[in-house]
Each structure stands twice: as C-alpha cells, then as structure tokens.
C-alpha cells in the first residue's frame, strides 16, 4: 500500500473515530437527562450559603471545616461563580470512613458527573477531599464485609463505570491530592486528566495486599501514565509513594509543599483551573478529545483525528472572537459558541 493510500485510510479512520466519539457524548447527554430524573439527588447538588463556605478548601484552614456523618453530605459539589464561573469543585466528605468509596458515594458521584456532563457552561472540574490528610482510602471495606458475595461484583462494576464516566467528561478534570489516595482512590485520580499532589500525600494501588487486583481501571491507566514496567512494580509490590516520588515517576504532574491548612494541592489545582478558564471552551473540549482518541491509535490515524477535531472549531464564533481580540489587542470573551 502506498503512503498516500495509508494517509487516506488514516483520515477516514480518524474521522470515523471522531464521529463515534461525538455520538457517544451525545448519547451520554441524553442518558444523563433520563438519569437525573431517577436519582434522588437534586439536578445540581448545591448547598446552602453556610455549607458553600464550609465545603471547599479556601486557605482559611482545613481544621475549621465542619463535617457531618449524614449520608447526604458524603459529596459536596460547588459551582463557582464570579471570575471563577465555569469551575466545578467536587469534594469528597466522609471523614469517619477516610473518604472510602461506598454505595452512596458512588451514587452521588455518578449523579454529579452526569450533571456536569450535560452542563455546557462547565469549563473545568476539580476533584478534591474535604477531609484533612486523606484523598480517598479506596473501597469501604467495612461496608464490603457486610455485602453478600453476590453483591460484590455488581458494586465493583458500578464503581468501575463511575470512574470510566469521570474519565469521559469532555472538560479538563484535575485531581487535587492533599492526602492518602489508595486503591480505588488513586484509580479515581488516574481517571482525571491532571493530578496535583502535596509532597506529603501518599499514593498506591495496594489491592494485592488483599489478594485482589485493582478493579476500577488501575491496571490499565497506571501503565499508560508511568509506563508498563514501573506500573507493574508498584502494583505487584503494593507500593505506596509520596507526592514528591509520584512527581518523579510522572504519576502526578506537580507536587507542592503542603501548607498548614492542608489544602496546598487544592489551591494549586484552583490556580490551574483559573489558567484554563479564559481559553476557548470548545477548543479545550476538542483538544481533550483529540488527545484521548489519538493516544490509543497509530500516529497517522491520530493526526487524522486531530484534523477532524480542528475542523469542529473552524465554524465557531469563538474562533472569530479570538482573531478579533488578537487584532484589537484585548482579552477575548469566549462564550462556547
């Protein structure tokens, strides 16, 4: 087969993959509408004004944040406003269980992810913990011990589906790891586009200690992030690394010195989200789609996917606004159109 034939075939395959990906996103939005009507949570899990100020680390001291053992507080989602409009902060809040993944948390996170997915005004998502010293300790083993053996498989499948949906969000996702992220907790972070950790955070896929394997994407995502050999080493040995070592391995993109309030990674993630916020939202979504689809195929097909994604931004009003702003030497006002 000639080079021109190969290139033509790559373009066709690339366009086909892009169409499929866009169809999946459209189907996900339709499914989200149906799911929203059946879940017990509200359309957008919002808090009272009092809870808003307490729910998200803000540099005023993590120790001052109130906690609740009420199941409805297991997850707190905040849609920021003002200059931070478009940033969504998803905070896990199970202090007594070290943010372990329970049936209720899976349900609430799934609802939150579906609501984010169908909201075109969202530009980035920060996944963090509201509990000092812990990101997520993995599966709730106390709850798991009470499950009948027939319940374990379906629960793991739901948790895996949740993490897959988190990874499929069309906007940038940032995991702010200010404490221990173990097992399923690290798998959630691995599903995010970017991971930022404090230097004191602990991370590891430790399932082999329990005679099981990572079951929510860890065996697939970790090798893609740090390479096959290192991933095998960490998983086989159930090794836990700190934030600085995780950065050296490429497990996280940035490691920051922890502060007195215990939210250094969150604050760094917020700064990154603020850098992303003013950029063209459609362009960001297409860039993420091109990267995620392209990384799984050969270079020629990946370039064709990039070409197809580029074609999606050409007719947008935002592109014309970007050109006008450049010409007029002003900050562009992108609207996602």
Rounded to whole angstroms, the Cα distance separating 280 from 278 reads 7
Residue 180 near residue 246 (C-beta atoms within 8 A): no
H/E stretch holding 105 reads: helix 103-117
Rounded to whole angstroms, the Cα distance separating 75 from 60 reads 20
Q: Which is catalytic among the residues 187, 283, 290, 306?
A: 187
Order of strands, edge to edge, in the sheet holding 87-92?
75-79, 87-92, 124-129, 173-177, 194-198, 254-256
Q: Which is catalytic among the residues 184, 204, 218, 302?
A: 184
Residue 276 near residue 172 (C-beta atoms within 8 A): yes
Pairing of strands 124-129, 87-92: parallel
| 269 catalytically annotated | no
Q: Which is catalytic among the residues 137, 207, 262, 322?
A: 207
| 179 catalytically annotated | no
Residue 265 near residue 178 (C-beta atoms within 8 A): yes
Q: Which residues pair with 198 in a beta bridge?
A: 256
| 26 catalytically annotated | no
| 187 catalytically annotated | yes
Residue 75 near residue 150 (C-beta atoms within 8 A): no
> Largest Cα–Cα distance in the chain?
67
Q: Closest by alpha carbon to 310, among 280, 334, 287? A: 287
Rounded to whole angstroms, the Cα distance separating 269 from 135 reads 14
Rounded to whole angstroms, the Cα distance separating 122 from 126 reads 11
Q: Which is catalytic among the residues 54, 97, 100, 139?
A: 139
Binning the chain into helix, strand and coil, the percentages to the nearest 5 are 55, 15, 30
Q: So which residues are the catalytic ones? A: 139, 184, 187, 207
């Amino acid at each position: 087969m000639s080079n021109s034939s190969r290139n033509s075939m790559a373009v066709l395959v690339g366009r086909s993959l892009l169409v499929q990906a866009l169809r999946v996103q459209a189907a996900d939005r339709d499914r989200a509408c149906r799911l929203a009507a059946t879940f017990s949570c509200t359309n957008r899990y919002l808090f009272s004004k009092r809870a808003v100020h307490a729910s998200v680390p803000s540099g005023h001291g993590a120790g001052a944040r109130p906690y609740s053992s009420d199941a409805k507080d297991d997850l707190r989602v905040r849609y920021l406003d003002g200059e931070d409009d478009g940033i969504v902060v998803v905070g896990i809040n199970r202090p007594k269980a070290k943010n372990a993944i329970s049936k209720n948390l899976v349900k609430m996170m799934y609802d939150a992810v579906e609501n984010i997915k169908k909201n075109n005004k969202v530009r980035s998502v920060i996944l963090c913990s509201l509990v000092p010293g812990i990101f997520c300790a993995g599966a709730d083993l106390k709850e798991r011990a009470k499950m009948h053996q027939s319940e374990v498989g379906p629960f793991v499948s739901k948790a895996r589906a949740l993490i897959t949906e988190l990874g499929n969000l069309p906007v940038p996702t940032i995991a702010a790891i200010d404490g221990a992220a173990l097992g399923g907790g690290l798998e959630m972070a691995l599903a995010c586009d970017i991971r930022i950790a404090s230097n004191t955070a602990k991370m590891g896929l430790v399932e082999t200690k329990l005679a099981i394997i990572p079951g929510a994407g860890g065996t697939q995502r970790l090798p893609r992030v740090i390479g096959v050999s290192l991933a095998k080493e960490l998983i086989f040995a159930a090794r836990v690394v700190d934030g600085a070592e995780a950065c050296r391995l490429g497990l996280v993109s940035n490691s920051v010195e922890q502060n007195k309030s215990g939210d250094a990674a969150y604050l760094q993630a917020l700064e990154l989200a603020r850098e992303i916020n003013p950029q063209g939202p459609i362009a960001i979504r297409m860039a993420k789609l091109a990267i995620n689809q392209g990384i799984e195929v050969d270079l020629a097909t990946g370039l064709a996917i990039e070409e197809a994604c580029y074609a999606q931004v050409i007719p947008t009003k935002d592109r014309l606004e970007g050109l006008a702003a450049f010409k007029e030497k002003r900050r562009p006002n992108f609207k996602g159109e």
